[in-house]
Chain A
Amino acid sequence: MQDAPVRRILTIMIPREKVVELVDAHARLEEPTTGAIWIRPEAGEAWLVEVIPSMPDDEKADEPTFFSPGVEFRFPLALIAGNRRSLEAAVRRHIDLARAVADGTVVLDRGDAQPLVELAREVSRAA
């Protein structure tokens, strides 16, 4: 009897420099990203929490928007984006998000990212 084919599990590692490159591109847009935290680095997508001050207040800021891999940025993306107030509220409301942000890596900080991480750590500790 023939053996069952060996199942290969492909883990796609997204290089940090590629994530930084994408965040830099977002930071150069007309309405720039001013803070970015890479969360869940083990995931198949690049999960980014981005602070975009020009975005309107959003009660669902915790919900990710997904993108397929692009031409220059060749990895799937899960983007949690909002202005700082909306993201802070999301971190306070959703403990899973707070934990992920607390453990995340700041890849861009123009004054918005580190305070968000610190808030997430406080929320995580208090939970």
Chain B
Amino acid sequence: MADERLKAWIRQARADWEAGRATSGSECHRRYWLQQACEKGIKALGIVLWNGPAADDGRFRHHFLHQHSPLKELADEAAADPKFPKSLHLLVRQLEAELAKIDGEGLLRKVDSTTPRKDPTEVSYRYPFVDTAGQEIAPVDWTATDWDAYQGNFAGVVAAIDRFLRAVEGRRQRGRTPS
């Protein structure tokens, strides 16, 4: 059952990645799907690693699986709440250690920090927002250069997420059989 859940997260992350790298659609839509692929990949890695106490499962879901920027949200909660469960605090560290090794350039962490927002004063993948010059921007207005600055170089992000998802899928497959 746990493996089926993990497979589903990886499958959806891969489908989002495929949509993100497709040449059709606008830049903002491709970037949104890449963000989604990264988000689901990080959640899949969290599911792989998580072996904490059952009493903390609910908070694992709430602060990690149900968040748009799972790593950032979990880290922010851990920093803000002195009574945050230790297991989750240590999970942040374990995720960061894994990502630092997989993603030396820091692209996945950069994408993780670009939370899809509705707040009109924040950059959004999906909703109009006001930029730093005070101009009303629709995400579709932004050029590839704008998105590169915000999310990271397109080709680099595509490649980083692809490598990451392959690694998580490889880990899942190894986990099925004793090695």
Contact = CB atoms under 8 A, between A and B. Distances in A.
B59 to A, nearest CB: 14
Interface stretch (B114-122, B142-150, B164-172): B164-172
Given A56-B82, A65-B87, A70 B93 contact: no
B93 A29 contact: yes
A71 B98 contact: yes
A70 B51 contact: no
Interface in A1-53: 10, 22, 25-26, 28-31
A40 to B, nearest CB: 17
B97 A25 contact: yes
B127 interface: no
B90 A65 contact: yes
A67 B97 contact: no
Q: Is the interface of B mostly helix, strand, loop or mixed?
A: helix
Contact of A70 (B52, B82, B89, B98): B98
Given A68-B49, A74-B174, A25 B86 contact: no
- Summarize A's interface: helix, strand, loop or mixed: loop
A26 B86 contact: no
6 contacts: A25-B100, A29-B97, A55-B89, A69-B174, A70-B94, A71-B102
Interface of B: 45, 48-52, 82, 86-87, 89-91, 93-94, 96-98, 100-102, 167-168, 170-171, 174-175, 178
Closest 3 CB pairs of A and B: A25-B97, A72-B101, A66-B51
Given A68-B51, A69-B48, A70-B98, 20 more contacts: A10-B178, A25-B100, A25-B101, A26-B97, A30-B96, A55-B86, A55-B89, A60-B86, A65-B52, A65-B87, A67-B91, A69-B175, A70-B45, A70-B48, A71-B45, A71-B167, A72-B97, A72-B102, A74-B174, A77-B94
